[in-house]
Structure 1
Amino acid sequence: MRFATVLSALLWPVALSTALTIGDVTRNSITAFAKQQVARQEIEERSLLSDILTDIENLAECSACEALLVVLKVLAHLGNDDFVNVIVEVCQTLNVEDDDVCSGAIGLEGPILAHDLRQMTIGTKTSTLFCLTVFGLCQWPTVDTSYSPFMTAKPATLRPASS
């Protein structure tokens, strides 16, 4: 009985040391993996930002705007913060406005635009109106009167006599 107690007492520090070593290796691996994921995300964001800048510079007509909306919709699905950060950076890079104006205006309106983009179907009247109002590239769509109600006929009754 004493031998087993002594043996387990001697093996306990070895097991603890092994567990701590495995814990350190695991922690270092997780830290390295997290750093790698952050670096990969920064590269993807940089690539996405470059694509967006190129698309904006090439905008000339409504169809190009709708192609840009596809990229912006993907960006909107990454989340409001990512959407706002990238669009602020685009605004500042293109010198659309002063840096503080880009940060303030897009910081306030960006989440609303991101929400709209997430709900939007590209190629519809809504996306055309979005391109028209935000970028000024599309023409006003034709008015659809197919569902407009017709006015009712004038009533046949006369006006009541004055008292």
Structure 2
Amino acid sequence: YENLDVLPRAFLVADWRWQPAMAAALNALQQTEFDPTVTAVILGNPTAADIQPAAHEPIADQPVILSYAPEEITIAVTTTTPALLVLTDTFYPGWEAAIDGQAAALQQVDGMFRGVFVPAGEHQVTMAYRPDSFKMGLWLTEIGIGVWLLLVAGTAVSWRKTR
């Protein structure tokens, strides 16, 4: 069996709808007229900074995945209109997005995917997995190494004094 309707790994849409809760988002996805290649359903509420939908039609522009690793993905995007870049990888806390090196808000799209608003033009989008637990672990490790170095230095000084 071959699924001929599979979504690409990364694609652009120019139309999206906001849904405040997961139940409402799932309901919108189940509508017979819903086409995920044209319209995205974003979980949450829009802010004034969010790009507004440009059109209810497919975008011919296709993003190009430049690098793909478990913890970081880099995508080249060229689009003539503001768009939502959808990456059909699982949305999960800890993922961060950047456009041309500047932090960007990551959106939960179609219930389970990641997305980021991209303005018209040529851009490089990076999505990196940096969970708070990793940052906390790194911070605690640095503190532990610092304490250990102080103990070693203190032991060396006291050992020299006793000689």
- TM-score range normalised by the length of the shorter chain: under 0.3
Larger RCO: 1 or 2 (CA < 8 Å, sep 6+): 2
| Higher normalized strand content (fraction of residues) | 2
Q: Based on CA coordinates, which of the two structures has the bigger radius of gyration?
A: 1
The structure with the greater share of residues assigned to helix is 1
